[in-house]
Amino acid sequence: MIGFGAHVRESLVPAIGRFADVHIARIHDPYLGPSVSAPYGSQIAATVDGVIDPKRVDALVIAATPEVHYDSAAASLKAGIPTFIEKPASVDADAMRALCSLSENTGTYLAVGHNYSFSPALTRVQRFIQSSDFGEILNLNVAFHGSKPRGPRWGMTDEFRAFLLSHATHAFDIALFSTSDVPLEVESASFRSSRNGHAGTVLLSGGSSLSVCVSLTNLAPRFDLGLTAISNAGRRVRMSGLSRVEYDGSDSSDRIGSSWSASVSATDIAGYVEQFSDFFHHVQNQRWTPTVMVRALRGLEIIDQIIHLRS
Ligand SMILES: NC(=O)c1ccc[n+]([C@@H]2O[C@H](COP(=O)([O-])OP(=O)(O)OC[C@H]3O[C@@H](n4cnc5c(N)ncnc54)[C@H](O)[C@@H]3O)[C@@H](O)[C@H]2O)c1
């Protein structure tokens, strides 16, 4: 692992701990305080070369800052090590495009930590949207309302980009995943920014009939995620948080009018375990499709478009 901060310790290590045949071998984080202890059986590596070493590790998990993600992933892919990077994968789409090329040219798997697309709730939403009775999706609303982080991040001078990289990457990944990776173009973006944070709406279109509205902020009192999709067949699927999905329509077929409620732990609700199940599966089978990394690239392209429109 490269980076051993709060997210790794609170969410990623417990999720990886679910896999009996996966062992955290080495950790590199030059800013670790003395009070932080490495997981049982793992070693702290003083240098990054002590981790990016195909003789010592079968895969690498990187969760630090966007710049570290890019530098470490580039080195790891060149060394032929399957690599998982947390979001944001990089500071912009150009850097991500370079990582995608490296992944393709070296035949080395690259995954990005967009955990929500592995959550039980969103997986159900996508399954319903892709079913033949749903028809074509016309309208998608995604609300991604965070309460933190606020203020400058990762030493980036462009605080608005840092906000988008931190929050909007998740929201755009959810929108792209729910619309089965139809390329989305930014129609308009409107944000209000204050000393405390940002709140705004992004309108996107996909082809001639799909319209997507993403509402974003880091000023909410607590985290909330919602999604509603409506189809040309009069169907609606609604996700409230990550624990409830309601299906709605005008006939009485099986799922219509029904709902699903999660009965699993917070780690499972957020999709952290499933995202690693998918990553380790690709690592073990050495066969992969670029879906996750291409979706991450498209999300960063949307962020670049918003910043371009704003300037
Ligand atoms: N998917 C999610 O739900 C989710 C949630 C929270 C955070 N994250 C992402 O995880 C990443 C880490 O976030 P965090 O909240 O744990 O932040 P954090 O600040 O707690 O941790 C970052 C860690 O990276 C380390 N680091 C900095 N430079 C490094 C380098 N050159 N080499 C190795 N380690 C280095 C720091 O010392 C720190 O321990 C971010 O990219 C963030 O966006 C994802």
Nearest partner of 19 among 261, 272, 254, 200, judged by Cα:
272
Distance from residue 66's CA to the centre of ligand 1 (Å): 9
Distance from residue 200's CA to the centre of ligand 1 (Å): 25
Query: Beta strand 236-240 with 244-248: parallel, antiparallel or unpaired?
Result: antiparallel
Decide if 275 contacts 118 (C-beta within 8 A).
Answer: yes
Distance from residue 206's CA to the centre of ligand 1 (Å): 33
CATH number of this structure's domain 116-263+291-310:
3.30.360.10
Residue ranges for the chain with pLDDT beneath 70: 250-257
What CA dihedral angle connects 111, 116, 121 and 125, to 10 degrees? -80
Closest CA to ligand 1's atom 24: 64
H-run or E-run covering 83 = strand 83-86
Neighbours of 146 (CB within 10 A): 21
90 Cβ contact partners less than 8 Å away, ≥ 6 residues apart: 66, 69, 70, 96, 99, 300
Q: Is 166's C-beta closer than 6 angstroms to any atom of ligand 1? A: yes
Nearest partner of 103 among 291, 308, 299, 257, judged by Cα:
291
Q: Is 65's C-beta closer than 6 angstroms to any atom of ligand 1? A: yes
Query: Could you tell me the pTM of the whole model?
Result: 0.95
Distance from residue 2's CA to the centre of ligand 1 (Å): 9
What is the architecture of the domain spanning 6-115?
Answer: 3-Layer(aba) Sandwich (3.40)
Q: Is 87's C-beta closer than 6 angstroms to any atom of ligand 1? A: yes
Distance from residue 6's CA to the centre of ligand 1 (Å): 7
Q: Is 3's C-beta closer than 6 angstroms to any atom of ligand 1? A: yes
* Amino acid 243: pLDDT: 92
Mutate which of 7, 144, 272 for ligand 1 pocket (most atoms within 8 A of beta carbon): 7
CA–CA gap between residue 128 and residue 131 (Å, rounded): 5
Mutate which of 10, 11, 12, 31 for ligand 1 pocket (most atoms within 8 A of beta carbon): 31
Which sequence spans correspond to the domains of the chain? 6-115, 116-263+291-310
Nearest atom in ligand 1 to the alpha carbon of residue 63 is 11
| 6-115 and 116-263+291-310, same CATH topology | no
C-alpha 69, offset from chain centre: 14
* Amino acid 251: pLDDT: 55
* Amino acid 256: pLDDT: 59
